[in-house]
Amino acid sequence: MIGLNKKTEKLKYSLIRVLKEEATKYSDVINLTIGEPDIPTPKNLVEEAMEYGKNNQLNYAQAGGSEKIRTLVAEYYNKKYKSTYNAENVVMNVGASEALSSCFKTIINPGDEVVITSPFYPAYPPMIELCYGIPVILNIHETKFKITRKTLEKYITPKTKAILLNNPCNPTGNVMTLEEMEVVADFISERDIFLIADEVYSSLVFYEFYSFASFEKIKDKLIIINGFSKSYSMTGWRIGYTLCPERYRKNFLNATFYTLSCPMSLSLKGAEIALEKFSDFNTADIYKERAEYMASALEKIGFKVLKPKGAFYIFADYTDLSKLDSFKFTMDILEKVKVAVVPGISFGTEGYIRIALTVDMEKLKEAVKRLEKYFKAI
Amino acid sequence: MIGLNKKTEKLKYSLIRVLKEEATKYSDVINLTIGEPDIPTPKNLVEEAMEYGKNNQLNYAQAGGSEKIRTLVAEYYNKKYKSTYNAENVVMNVGASEALSSCFKTIINPGDEVVITSPFYPAYPPMIELCYGIPVILNIHETKFKITRKTLEKYITPKTKAILLNNPCNPTGNVMTLEEMEVVADFISERDIFLIADEVYSSLVFYEFYSFASFEKIKDKLIIINGFSKSYSMTGWRIGYTLCPERYRKNFLNATFYTLSCPMSLSLKGAEIALEKFSDFNTADIYKERAEYMASALEKIGFKVLKPKGAFYIFADYTDLSKLDSFKFTMDILEKVKVAVVPGISFGTEGYIRIALTVDMEKLKEAVKRLEKYFKAI
């Protein structure tokens, strides 16, 4: 047997996908695993894109997207988040996932460290490791999910290439306060390191939200990752983007070009239509209602729940209810009451489960009933 | 300025794309640069896919593709090329480009060598280098585009991880003979190295064609890259695939998963429809007619032309006609007679130009007239 790349050999398949696929083995399961919106893409957006696809040969797109879509993205950010981007700051990618993996490819040299906060999106560490970078885990679970200057200072070394923050946060549903962001921006502005802001849930916020894009002082060190999967319920379209300092544009462009040439033409068209005609599409209120209901219902059961402020997840501490580790706990719930959720260990934090609020209220209520039944039985 | 990844910093944007974009500055230009079929995707395939897109929410696809599309791909290969694949050998990718970049990510450790033949597809060396591999250039221009055991032996070292062959070949339009393939297969079967067969032009062949998939003795060392861009004129759909030994399946799957999660759902659907209902779609005869015309017309002008056997390119030696280097030569032709072609140096071989046969006969005839005019004038 021929040896493969050592990093690839160590990779494990996504636990979220494992649970999602495990759930399909049960009938009548309530699947709260994968972070996929249940609210459909706007119907007229889809129809217009599909009509375009019928009437136009789908040729290779410009690598990184046309000037038109890049201008639309820049304007969207400027209008919504008070930034000063133009088309030259934008590179279109195959979803925020590829935006992120290509970002790491662009900036990481072997041995470089990327600081990520725990709990983290499970793909962050393997994506960094595949580029021979080292994920440095900054545990914010211990500081009540707050980032402070002190904790940042503790984790920064001469090898630090970037700090990666996911705001709003998957899995916690937390949103950073302006004060917290000021601390981070000041910290970055004093150093030669990048801030990678994964803002893919930026349009799903229940109260205030600020983008790092509005902090002028870190403009030459800020890389923003975003996309259409969550904001427009366009997961299967695989269309996302990178906002980067203009001086690095050609590097980001070449990294994605030599990974996959260019995004899918119809998805680029869909993104154009979304920004031109559906700027008022917003599903945040729907998720807010679900999040408030779920947080309160879970607390009644005995979970400890961080107040959700955005995205569509509840990250719930079950340590007062069960002594099982999070993988065994989620498998036990799935087996006994057919509710599928994701173990905290996927996100680097034991004693928690992540619940995706991507089913309607009726199903959420049924899930709560089943969880109540589960805890009555044990 | 923060330093970036050293490999990414050295990348150059594709010369093919440079020439393609340069060509758009002229009116009335005949653009024979990029390898993009002009024959449209079958109309009914497109309509069925777009109807599907209208009537179904496009959710995340299974990473690497569903069992259905993977079974269809395996059956397609088995029927057409006498292989013995099943769904577990197949990973669906975002085009053959991503199939290839993820393949390198899966198998290359830093310092590993990948032997490629010159002239080569221009993205091969940077893709290998981005994975810290070393492209080793085996010049087959000197052996009349034939691969022999002697040349292979010369380039193999203990660091060789794979030999990559593009058959049919971009840019030469050459197709390997069965005898030549036997030599390669024997050579591989005696060693612990992979054979990567980029067969993306496999359906565009004018005479005989054999796939490496039919060589049972290298089955556990063979990685095939293919896709729908050239065979079904689906470039903008970005859908391709990897056929790999089953024992490596999870590694190939994880590499693509941690690059971009999954391919675009509608493109996977389009690929399904193509294989289920359009197995008789074949554009080879159209390109054959063009290739024969162009080869003969160019020879009359004074080019030396390798007989085209597949794909849709002519790789023409102009050294009897001009002493300019290939970049200057192509720019001069573009400026003076508005015909855009790609310089041989893009493919690692000076003294040649690559002509893409992706316009109709009328335009090809006009291109020939312009080239005649160009050579009369100098």
Please, which pLDDT band fits residue A191 given cuts at 50, 70 and 90? very high
Partner-chain contact A264 B131, CB within 8 Å: no
A221 interaction partners in chain B (CB closer than 8 Å): 2
Cβ separation of A248 and B11 shorter than 8 Å?
no
**Residues of A in Cβ contact (< 8 Å) with B194:** 2
Q: Is the pLDDT reported for residue A178 higher than 80?
A: yes
B-chain residue closest to A219, CA distance: B1
Which pLDDT tens digit goes with each residue over B155-204? Answer: 999 999 999 999 999 999 999 999 999 999 999 999 999 999 999 999 99
Q: Do the chains contact at B101 and A1, CB–CB below 8 Å?
A: no
Min CA distance, A299 vs chain B (Å)? Answer: 31
CA distances A142 to A185, A323, A343, Å, are 22, 19, 18
Interface test with B, best of A10, A39, A58, A161 (most B CBs within 10 A): A58
CA distance A7 to B80: 35
Give the containing element (helix H, strand E) for A189: helix A178-189
How does strand B352-356 pair with strand B313-317? antiparallel
ipTM of predicted complex: 0.97
Distance CA A136, CA A138 (A): 6
Rg of chain B taking only CA atoms, in angstroms: 21
Contacts of B234 in chain A (CB under 8 A): 58
Which of A127, A251, A257 lies closest to B14 in CB terms?
Answer: A257
Tens-digit pLDDT profile for residues B345-359: 999 999 999 999 999
Higher pLDDT, B104 or A15: B104
Look at residue A59 in the predicted model and tell me its pLDDT.
97
Task: Determine whether the interchain pair A8/B106 forms a contact, defined as Cβ–Cβ distance below 8 Å.
Answer: yes
> What pLDDT, in 10s, does the model give residues A321-350?
999 999 999 999 999 999 999 999 999 999
Q: Domain A6-41+282-377's class?
A: alpha beta
Question: Which residues in chain B have their CB less than 8 angstroms from residue A267's CB?
Answer: 264
pLDDT tens for chain B, 378 residues: list them: 899 999 999 998 888 888 888 888 999 999 999 889 999 999 999 999 999 999 999 999 999 999 999 999 999 999 999 999 999 999 999 999 999 999 999 999 999 999 999 999 999 999 999 999 999 999 988 788 889 999 999 999 999 999 999 999 999 999 999 999 999 999 999 999 999 999 999 999 999 999 999 999 999 999 999 999 999 999 999 999 999 999 999 999 999 999 999 999 999 999 999 999 999 999 999 999 999 999 999 999 999 998 899 999 999 999 999 999 999 999 999 999 999 999 999 999 999 999 999 999 999 999 999 999 999 987
**CA dihedral sign, ordered B360, B365, B366, B367:** positive
Chain B residues in contact with A54 by the CB 8 A cut-off are 46-47, 50
Residue-level pLDDT at A1? 83
Q: pLDDT exceeding 70 applies to what percent of chain A?
A: 100
A289-311 mean pLDDT? 97
Q: What angle do CA A298, A303, A304 make, to 5 degrees?
A: 110
In the block, residue with structure tokens 């997840």: A313
Task: State whether B5 and A107 contact (CB < 8 Å).
Answer: yes
| Structure tokens, A218 | 């870190």
Read off the pLDDT of residues A81-114 as tens digits, 9 standing for 90 and up: 999 999 999 999 999 999 999 999 999 999 999 9
Place of tokens 């945040």: A284
Mean pLDDT score of chain A: 96
Are A8 and B233 an interchain contact pair (Cβ–Cβ within 8 Å)? Answer: no
Pick the residue of A124, A259, A267 with the most B CBs within 10 A to test the interface with B by mutation. A259
The pLDDT tens digits for A208-242 are: 999 999 999 999 999 999 999 999 999 999 999 99
Q: What does the pLDDT read at residue B15?
A: 83
* CA atoms in the 13 A half-sphere facing the CB of B323: 0
Q: Residue A144 pLDDT > 90, yes or no?
A: no
Q: Which residues of B touch A1 (CB under 8 A)?
A: 220, 247
State the CB neighbour count (10 A cutoff) for residue B42. 18
A366, containing H or E segment = helix A361-377
Answer whether B58 sits within 8 Å of A234, measured CB to CB.
yes
Per CATH, the number for B57-277 is 3.40.640.10
pLDDT of residue A378 exceeding 80, the answer is: no
Amino acid at B320: D
Give the closest-approach CA distance of B1 to chain A in angstroms. 7
Q: A104: nearest CA in chain B?
A: B5
Distances (CA, A) of B74 to A352, B165, B208, B215, B226: 42, 21, 21, 15, 12
Residue A143 has pLDDT above 90, yes or no: no
Give the chain A residue nearest B221 (alpha carbons): A2
User: CATH number of the domain at A43-277, out of 3.40.50.2000, 3.40.30.10, 3.40.50.1100, 3.40.640.10?
Assistant: 3.40.640.10
Q: Which residues contact A114 (CB under 8 A, 6 or more apart)?
A: A104, A108, A128, A133, A134, A135, A136, A160, A161, A162, A163, A164, A196
Q: Which residue of A has its CA nearest to B265?
A: A236
Computed over every residue of chain B, the mean pLDDT equals 96
Between A and B, how many CB-CB pairs are < 8 A? 210
B49/chain A closest Cα distance in angstroms: 9
Tell me which residue in A14, A95, A251 faces B8 most closely, judged by beta carbons: A251
Question: Is A54–B53 a contact, with Cβ atoms under 8 angstroms apart?
Answer: no
Q: What is the pLDDT of residues A41-74, one digit of tens each?
A: 999 999 999 999 999 999 999 999 999 999 999 9
CB spacing of A13 vs B46 below 8 angstroms: no
Residue A124 C-alpha, separation from nearest chain B C-alpha, in angstroms: 9
pLDDT band at A164 (very low <50, low <70, confident <90, very high): very high
Position A248 scores a pLDDT of 97
Structural contact between residues B144 and B175, judged by C-beta atoms closer than 8 angstroms: no
Q: Where are the domains of chain B?
A: 6-41+282-377, 57-277
The span from the CA of B357 to the CA of B311, in Å, is 9
Does the beta-carbon distance from B260 to A261 stay under 8 Å? Answer: no
- pLDDT of res. A223: 98
Chain B closest-CA separation from residue A74 CA (Å): 23
Q: Which of A59, A63, A130 sits opposite B236 (nearest CB)?
A: A59
